[in-house]
A = this chain, B = another copy of it.
Amino acid sequence: MLFKYFRMRIKNDIKNCKTCVYRQMLFGNLNDFEYKLVNDVRTESLYKRGEVIKRENEKVDSFLYLRKGLVKLYKTDKWGKEQILSINKPGDFVNLLTIFSKANYKYGIEAVEDTLVCNVELEVLEHIISTNGDFAMRVLNRMSNISEEIIENRFEQGQKQLKGRVATILLYFADDIYHKNTFNLPITRREIGELITMTTENTIRAFSEFKRDGLINIQNRTISIQDYERLKTIAKSG
């Protein structure tokens, strides 16, 4: 999809948080005044695929909420190679875990699809937290959940080897992101490697083997899952 159409489409989409599908997830229990506060200061930003949203080391000054698209969080290692920490999808609170650290970003954020982000100034959020205890508890709860998820994911990935990891990623895109068995991979093979901490070459080898064994079909970036169950078995045990 061309970017200008994407821009047009979202322009008439959501006017304020009241109609935002994801509002419930975090801002559900604000009172009218607080809610107006958030709505008044919040801004929306559009990013094209490949655009950097936040650079490593940039100052953390706003809360980011992913409304549409897909972003990756990444770090650069000492040899200059990137490593992807996680992929975030609509509804995710992209930087919640680091937002209150009073430090700079320890990772970068980049759009891997055309992306719409909602920004809320940090000071406003802090003010509401200070005055609305329920909201504070809700934020704490989400932070807990996010950090547990990250730890759990890393733990499970660590128990798998190449094919298990690739299978897991394919199912992640099919099940959690696109909700269908045929989809366009939004990231390159190299990025998948960076996500599962394997080399590009070996990632591709796993793809090729899956194709050869009839588990998936590949047409450039288009992946189509042929044998869901077998792939799931590999993802779990392999």
Contacts and interface: CB of A to CB of B under 8 A. Distances in A.
B100 A143 contact: yes
Given A77-B159, A83-B158, A106-B151, A98 B144 contact: yes
A150 interface: yes
A155 B197 CA distance: 11
Interface stretch (A6-14, A125-133, A203-211): A125-133
B154 A102 contact: no
A136 interface: yes
Interface size class of A (residues with CB under 8 A): 35 or more
A101 B133 contact: no
Interface in A47-96: 75, 77-78, 83, 85
Interface in A105-148: 106-107, 126, 129-131, 133-134, 136-137, 139-141, 143-145, 147-148
Contact of A101 (B85, B148, B154, B158): B148
